[in-house]
Amino acid sequence: MGFKIKNIELKTGMYILYVEQGSPDGIPVIFLPGYTDSWHIFEPMLPYLPKSLLAFSLTQRGYGDATKPEKGYTIENYAEDVIIFMNKLDLKSAVLIGGSSGGIVARHIAIKHPDRVLGIVLLGSPSTLRKNKRVRQMWNDIISQLNDPMDPVFVRDFIESTIYQPVPKVFVDKMVQDSLKVPARVWQAALQGLMNDKSYNKINLIKVPVLIIWGDKDTVLPKEDQELLKKTIPDAKLVIFPNAGHVFYIEQPDRVASNIIKFIESL
């Protein structure tokens, strides 16, 4: 299925990319990709969504073909971009779908701008990366030492480590191509922004319903991490996918879409 890629100027000289599908009168649903991902990470899922929804999948600053400013890679920066995007498109509120670290952006928006969020779906999203030993080790051993040009072997290994079930090679190749467009300084700054984020301390303030989905073969996030999210967020539900990796939403896009649709219908 082909998508028309659009761009929108958020600030002078800074653009992000997005694709859009569905009815202009439908409930807005905004998909937020994770670390170094582009809008393509949600491409397998979009065809399974009803056209009655107004769905947007974003490529945020620093990633893919979006603008790559010299600075501005905190969670606050990413959340602000989403609010500006919503204002530009006159979206008063939306359901936010966050893949991996995109979920941290989604919940930050829900905390700071509660009136702009109808509900949140967290897809393999961490509670916090401040104490995640695997991520800290990756920063110390690899990310902090990256230089341009990015090593295609490292990028492919990084992406494939998040996948458990078979995914078409052509799609993995596209993910690799998009992540190779991310310069080393953005890999570093964005991960620092994630590790320094303190929004976990306020997730008990989230007032909207939250659906948490996690794959039990996730090598990044343990089950305890997801149970902590469910326990701390007041109106949260946890669904566990068996035999699914960190980016299970490219492994089982139809099943994920079905859960998202049911969640939106319950709002």
CA 92/CA 217 separation, integer angstroms: 37
Q: Which domain holds residue 131?
A: 6-266
**Average confidence score pLDDT of the chain:** 96
* Inside any domain, residue 31: yes
Non-local (6+) Cβ contacts of 195 within 8 A are 129, 130, 135, 136, 139
pLDDT score, position 141:
96
* Inside any domain, residue 216: yes
* Inside any domain, residue 1: no
* Inside any domain, residue 185: yes
pLDDT score, position 12:
84
Q: How many domains does the chain have?
A: 1
Instruction: Write the CA distances from 146 to 69, 116, 157, 173, 215, integer angstroms.
Output: 18, 37, 15, 21, 29
Instruction: Write the CA distances from 148 to 18, 38, 143, 182, 193, integer angstroms.
Output: 26, 19, 12, 10, 20
In CATH, what number is assigned to the domain containing residue 66? 3.40.50.1820
pLDDT score, position 249:
98
* Inside any domain, residue 252: yes
pLDDT score, position 2:
64
pLDDT score, position 168:
95
Q: How many residues does the chain have?
A: 267
Segment 111-167, tens digit of pLDDT: 999 999 999 999 999 999 988 888 999 999 999 999 999 999 999 999 999 999 999
pLDDT score, position 130:
87
CA 192/CA 176 separation, integer angstroms: 21
The DSSP code sequence of 39-103 is GGGGTTTGGGS-TTSEEEEEE-TTSTTS---SS--SHHHHHHHHHHHHHHTT-S-EEEEEETTHH
* Beta-strand pair 54-59/14-22: antiparallel
Low-confidence ranges of the chain (pLDDT < 70): 1-2
